[in-house]
């Protein structure tokens, strides 16, 4: 039995959830998101919120049960409060700044890296060494943060590069004479 799947997705103030077969749509103050669930689970409205249950007792249905409930929770949270991911830049001369709605990165290359934000994503650079990626779709926010980190991932000897704010980089010991 799925511990996560048993919990209902509690309604959040200001968010309306509609179920149309396997498609669940959530509308809130930040926007509208929808997700199509697999046929192995069945979403239903109840007094506690949206309840997801497996259609049968097969292994595949039980495997998809908790994931489907988490997808529903992510769209409800996204349209009510949104998601954000923070990145930190470490290294001499490495910096980030906003150029209109685009992010301009100086990462030790011979050229500046210009990153254009996709639709639904907001980028911010409050300081030269900090980047904030925010939006309503959790998967898209994580993917954009990973794309920015990919330009210069942190290296293990000096720790220079772009890292997640909560990431710990394991440092290696350098050469000895």
pLDDT in tens, 68-97: 999 999 999 999 999 999 999 999 999 999
Answer for the pair 25, 45: CB distance below 8 angstroms, yes or no.
no
Instruction: Answer whether residue 19 shows pLDDT above 80.
Output: yes
Total domains in the fold of the chain: 2
Q: Is residue 76 one of the residues assigned to a domain?
A: yes
Q: Which of 80, 114, 134 is the last residue of a domain?
A: 80
CATH at 118: 3.90.930.12
Domain that holds residue 115: 83-164
pTM metric for this prediction: 0.90
Instruction: Answer whether residue 108 shows pLDDT above 80.
Output: yes
Instruction: Answer whether residue 3 shows pLDDT above 90.
Output: no
104 bridge partner residues = 97, 114
Give 53: exposed, middle or buried? Use CB within 10 Å, 0-12, 13-18, 19+: middle
Q: What is the helix, strand, coil percentage profile of the chain, to 5? A: 20, 35, 40
Q: Is residue 173 one of the residues assigned to a domain?
A: no
């Amino acid at each position: 039995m799925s511990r996560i799947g048993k919990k209902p997705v509690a309604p959040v103030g200001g968010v309306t959830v509609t179920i149309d077969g396997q498609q669940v749509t959530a509308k809130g103050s930040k926007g509208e998101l929808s997700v199509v669930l697999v046929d192995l689970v069945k979403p239903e409205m109840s007094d506690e919120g949206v309840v997801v249950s497996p259609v049968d007792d097969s292994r595949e249905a039980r495997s998809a049960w908790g994931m489907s409930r988490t997808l529903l929770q992510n769209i409800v949270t996204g349209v009510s409060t949104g998601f954000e991911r923070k990145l930190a830049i470490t290294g001499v001369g490495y910096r980030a700044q906003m150029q209109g709605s685009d992010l301009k990165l100086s990462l030790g290359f011979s050229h500046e890296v210009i990153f254009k934000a996709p639709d639904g994503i907001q980028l911010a650079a409050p300081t030269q060494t900090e980047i904030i990626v925010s939006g309503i779709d959790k998967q898209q926010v994580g993917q954009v943060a990973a794309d920015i980190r990919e330009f210069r991932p942190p290296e293990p000897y000096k720790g220079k590069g772009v890292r997640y704010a909560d990431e710990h980089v394991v440092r290696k010991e350098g050469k000895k004479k």
